[in-house]
Amino acid sequence: GQIHVHSNLGQIHQVRGQLTDARRHWVESLELFRQLGDAEGSLRTLVNLAASSCDYGQYDEARVYAQQALHEAKKSNIPIGSCFAHLNLGLATHYQGENKLSVDENRAAYQIAIDLGSQRLQAHALSVQGHALVEMEQFSAAEEAYWEAVAIWQRLEIPNMVAEAKAGLARLALRQQNEALAKELASEVWTQIAVDPNLDGAELPVRIYLTCYQVFKKTGDVRADEALSAGRDLLEKQSTSLNDDDVRNSLRQKIPAHRDILAI
């Protein structure tokens, strides 16, 4: 009973933006799961801790929790746990600029996702792999990863994730000085933003707005100012929902896209 109370309270506090309280309950439940020798419960909790740390730009913490999750998953032979751990490590390392490591983590996650038959997890791994490969200037590999992700998200009919992968392709086109393609892709993304301005389910919605702004600004498109102000508004909405100053500051300053959109 007590263990599930802590797990559930962790989820409730997370939804309410009370990350410190959520983490306290998850750490309590982690201790109880470990005392009971419940590997699946421990693993699920570690994955929650890693993912929520990533969401708020606390990448060092995310890596610690994800490494623990990976150890637990391998020891107990729970492949889906390994997959989530590699995905969280892939995200955290990318946002900390360790892109070679990020590619390796995402490739490991992708392989496990294929073995599990999970298209959704394959697409997550491909999208972040694309982000990291762009930063490494491995443009053809990045393009291939992004388009494969787009194809999967389209098959699964998850338009916000299609938009996120296309935003990656727009950034790639901009890096390659292909402004016409960048504008075409950003316009497709902008159409989806009109349908769902919150971009629910996307890994980093504000980065998608920032991408649209950067492309529209570069190509002299009048939508640039709207993209910038809407992206800032969304970040403000995310920030004001948090009751912890440290977490709020981390969200605004530790996530590169958030820091960048506030600095413009």
Q: Is a pLDDT exceeding 90 seen at residue 176?
A: yes
- 95 in the same domain as 145: yes
Considering all CA atoms of the chain, what is the largest pairwise distance in Å, rounded to the nearest integer?
A: 61
Query: How deeply is 151 buried, as exposed, middle or buried, from its count of CB atoms within 10 A (0-12, 13-18, 19+)?
Result: middle
Indicate the number of domains in the chain: 2
What is the token pair recorded at 87?
């995905």
Query: How deeply is 184 buried, as exposed, middle or buried, from its count of CB atoms within 10 A (0-12, 13-18, 19+)?
Result: middle
The whole-model pTM stands at 0.95
pLDDT classification of 13: cutoffs 50, 70, 90: confident
Domain membership flag for residue 2: no
Its domain, for residue 130, covers 38-157
Domain membership flag for residue 262: yes
- 47 in the same domain as 144: yes
Q: What mean pLDDT, rounded, does the chain reach?
A: 96
> Residues 197-233: pLDDT tens digits?
999 999 999 999 999 999 999 999 999 999 999 999 9
CATH of the domain at 141: 1.25.40.10
Q: How far apart are CA 67 and CA 103, in angstroms?
A: 16
Amino acid found at 110? Y
Q: How far apart are CA 212 and CA 117, in angstroms?
A: 33
> Residues 27-76: pLDDT tens digits?
999 999 999 999 999 999 999 999 999 999 999 999 999 999 999 999 99
pLDDT of residue 1: 64
